[in-house]
Amino acid sequence: MKSVILILSVLVFLAPHWVDARTHVKITNYLYGNLELRVHCRSKDNDLGNHLLRAEQSFEFSFSPNIWGTTLFYCSFKWDGSYKWFVIYDDGRDEYNCNDATCIWQITQDRPCQVNAPGNGLLCYPWDGE
């Protein structure tokens, strides 16, 4: 009986996180020189395909992070002979870094930058693997 009560207590605690727990990611091409940006994003379970973004165009997707806090989405970025990649959503980094569960990214040649990160305005990261 105590086990059932414990399980129900945990479910009641976690329930608000499951109800409408969608996270939105928006990636915008801010490459200098009006270059086209090719974006390919995926997680362990989802391949979001290839997308071609012209200057200041965006690609958006939504998902429900897992209850273990381990959700990752990574993207490859190609332009004008360059190839970079970056973990565009890391639950450990972004769960509280995104405003209202919306993560907005500006992609430049130099680095990916998160827009409106709480208390930061613009938070830029180095490319992964560099």
Tell me, yes or no, whether 74 lies in a domain: yes
Look at residue 8 in the predicted model and tell me its pLDDT. Answer: 47
Q: Is residue 7 in a domain?
A: no
Write out the E strands in the chain: 23-29, 37-42, 47-53, 58-63, 72-79, 82-90, 102-107, 112-117, 121-124
Residue 15 within any structural domain of the chain:
no
Nearest C-alpha neighbor of 23 from the set 85, 52, 65, 69: 65
What total of structural domains would you count in the chain? 1
Asked if residue 10 is part of any domain, the answer here is no
What is the pLDDT averaged over residues 11-15? 48
Q: Note the pLDDT tens digit of each residue in 43-96.
A: 999 999 999 999 999 999 999 998 888 999 999 999 999 999 999 999 988 887
Per-residue pLDDT at 20 exceeds 80: no
12 in any annotated domain:
no
For 44-57, give one letter per residue: b (16+ CB within 10 A) or e.
Answer: eeeebeebebeeee
Asked if 127 and 85 count as a contact pair (C-beta separation under 8 A), the reply is: yes
Residue 3: inside a domain:
no
Whether residue 4 lies inside any domain: the answer is no
Residue 2 lies in a domain: no
Range of the domain at 96: 20-124
Distance of CA 113 to the CA centre of its chain: 11
Q: Above pLDDT 70, what percent of the chain?
A: 82
Answer for the pair 40, 51: CB distance below 8 angstroms, yes or no: yes
Mean pLDDT of the chain: 86
- Strand-pairing partners, residue 72, are 90
* Residue 50: CATH number of its domain: 2.60.40.10
